[in-house]
Amino acid sequence: MNIIEQKLKDYRPSTPAEQEVALVEIVQQLILFGLARTGFFTGAAFHGGTCLRIMFGMRRFSEDLDFVLKAPSDSFSWEAYFPTVLAECRAFGIELEIKDRKNTTGAVKSAFLKTDSIGKVLLAAIPFSRQSMRKIAIKLEIDTNPPLGSGFESRFLGFPGPAAVTVQDLSSGFSGKLHALLCRSYVKGRDWYDLLWYAERGAAPNLKLLGNALRQTGPWEGRRVSLDSAWIVEELRRKISGIDWGATQRDVARFVPSAEQKGLELWSKALFLNAVERLSRSW
């Protein structure tokens, strides 16, 4: 049994959808491993939902690999990192193709890495049938002009081998999530799932980073907010009171493992107001 077969077995997928998520995460981790081998994390950090899942153990599934530069730079390019990433993945039998969106305008630089080879590598090992040529696509995004004030820490990837990965610390990641919750123009179920995850851990936000983010983008852009826990709680309560929780539950359902689906039935205004109350007591 090769290392990728063993990794898939460790996931114990119970449905075709969970199997597909496991295959995506295997490729994500191979890419992270390759990036670590390039020295990418000397100047950048992993963050977002996939980071919480792979590096912090959150249970919901995620899609993209999101990063921030530690210091703003308008000269960043993905191109320099891809030869090593492709070579590292090839060593495990995974051939990647690149679509680098070099002409992307704005601070967020994107690229797509695709493969149809993982199905070939695992054709005899996957528990649920899938088209062997079906492509898995991973989007990489990096914010080259992030708000200042983030904290970072080093965590370690175990698959396909040991590798040090710089991540936003939990407090800074929570600030990024709060910015999304307060500023996003639409409701995203994964944001609210993550709020519950942070509440379970009694997380406290990095107020400096959150203040800078609010001033940089969103409804408070360019304004100085008297930012404290009371202000955050009040704005979260306002958001929670206006949300259709049935629609929000349906939006996140495909990212939640089978064992947790029942818990989504509890999603309501009362549940999230309680979560915010618990958070406020820990700040």
Q: Mean pLDDT across the stretch 253-259?
A: 91
CATH number for the domain including 36?
Answer: 3.10.450.620
pLDDT tens per residue across span 120-155: 777 656 777 776 667 899 999 999 999 999 999 999
Residue 127 has a pLDDT of 76
Residues 91 and 30 in one domain: yes
Question: Which residues lie closer than 8 Å to 164 by C-beta, 6 or more apart?
Answer: 36, 41, 154, 155, 156, 157
Identify whether residues 76 and 176 lie together within a single domain. no
pLDDT band per the 50, 70, 90 thresholds, residue 252: very high
End residue of a domain, out of 168, 185, 219:
168
**Of 35-44, 89-98, 113-122, 125-134, minimum mean pLDDT range:** 125-134
> Could you tell me if 177 and 163 lie in one domain?
no
> Are 142 and 212 in a shared domain?
no
Counting residues of the chain whose pLDDT is more than 90, the rounded percentage is 78
Last residue of a domain, one of 116, 138, 168: 168
Q: Which of 132-146, 151-165, 206-220, 245-259 has the lowest mean pLDDT?
A: 132-146
Tokens 């077969």 found at: 5
Q: Looking at the structure, tell me whether residues 163 and 195 fall in a common domain.
A: no
More confident residue, 20 or 119: 20
Residue 101 domain boundaries? 3-168
Do residues 102 and 82 make contact, with C-beta atoms less than 8 angstroms apart?
Answer: no
Q: Are residues 261 and 161 in the same domain?
A: no
Instruction: Give the integer Cα–Cα distance in Å for 261 and 249.
Output: 10
Predicted TM-score of the model (pTM)? 0.92
pLDDT, average across residues 74-88: 94
Taken in order 139, 37, 157, 144, the sign of the CA dihedral is negative
Paired tokens of 203: 């997380």
Same domain, 68 and 135: yes
The last residue of a domain, from among 168, 194, 223:
168
Same-domain status, 110 and 16: yes
For tokens 């200042």, the residue is: 148
Residue 116 has pLDDT above 80, yes or no: yes
Residues 93 and 8 in one domain: yes
- Same domain, yes or no: 140 and 197: no
Question: Nearest CA to 34 among 168, 157, 167?
Answer: 157
- Cβ(220)–Cβ(161) below 8 Å: no
Residues 95 and 124 in one domain: yes
Q: Could you report the per-residue pLDDT of 198-209, keeping only the tens digit for each? A: 999 999 999 999
Give the total number of structural domains in the chain.
2
Is residue 60 located within the same domain as residue 156?
yes
